A = this chain, B = another copy of it.
Amino acid sequence: MTKGSYKQFCPVAMASEIICTRWTAVLVRELLMGSTRFNDLRRGVPRMSPALLSKRLKDLEEAGIVYRSPVEDEPDVEQYILTQAGKDLYPIVESLGIWGARWVETEPSLENLDPTLLMWDMRRNIIPDPKPNKRSVIQFMYSDQPKATKNWWLIVDPKNDKIDLCSVEPGFDVDLYVSTDLRTMTKIWMGFETLSNAFAEEDILLTGNSDLEEKVRLWLSPGKSLSPFAGIEKLVS
């Protein structure tokens, strides 16, 4: 552990040695967001190699940030659960996110969009309030994406707080279709553009049940259930 260390007796240095290694902060973000299993985490950090993910999880375990726990009913499968020390990393990840939202130029980064990351982020963070009056299926169609990642289905059940996400047809009738491109949807989700504005510019189209449409427009309006980092004032271009 002393190997490669900063050898500084300072709390900032001690924390940095653990958190400020490549990919670690982003991995901790995934854990804080609720992912627990290896392949769930892998989906959240798709450009991280499984070998490095495995190593980082071991490092985090050694640092007392996660522990392994067997999954019920599934032998040979383990989960990575945050300890209290791990949960206490929240302010670090939060302040990183606030600073990034405020000070990093977004244009270059808008080249690196990923429909999977976007949809999972939406699944985790959308609060369907007002609730639909019945279980509803919303299909997202990204006109600029290849077939494999073009279509996504969110299933919102008023009896269930959790939203479900499918990347293949769920088999239920679709109540609302959202047609747009990935860039537009990402910008709406990040709060760079309002849904109303994108709608007015015809960058997004909603068709289907008009009662549900009205509710979805409310869910995705500023100050409601957009990305946790939407609404932070940008101070660079």
Which residues does A use to contact B, with CB under 8 Å?
1-2, 5-16, 18-26, 29, 45, 47, 64, 84-85, 88-89, 91-104, 108-114, 117-118, 121, 186, 190, 229, 232, 235-236
Contacts and interface: CB of A to CB of B under 8 A. Distances in A.
Contacts of A99: 11, 15, 19, 85, 88-89, 91-92
Contacts of A91: 95, 98-99
Given A12-B93, A15-B104, A20-B24, 19 more contacts: A2-B108, A2-B112, A8-B45, A8-B112, A9-B110, A10-B97, A11-B104, A13-B26, A15-B96, A15-B99, A15-B100, A15-B103, A16-B25, A64-B103, A89-B99, A91-B95, A91-B98, A92-B92, A94-B95
Nearest to A94: B95
15 contacts: A7-B112, A9-B112, A9-B186, A10-B97, A11-B97, A12-B26, A12-B29, A13-B26, A13-B100, A14-B109, A15-B100, A20-B24, A64-B236, A85-B235, A88-B99
Contact of A92 (B21, B96, B104, B114): B96
Contacts of A190: 9
A14 B100 contact: yes
Contacts of A18: 104
Contacts of A103: 15, 64, 85, 88
Report how many copies the assembly holds: 2
B22 A26 contact: no
A139 to B, nearest CB: 22
Given A1-B108, A18-B104, A85-B235, A11 B98 contact: yes
A79 B21 CA distance: 28
A27 to B, nearest CB: 10
A182 B147 CA distance: 65
A141 to B, nearest CB: 20
Contacts of A15: 96-97, 99-100, 103-104
Q: Among the interface residues A6, A24, A89, A118, which one has the most CB atoms of the partner chain B within 10 A? A: A6
Contacts of A104: 11, 14-15, 18
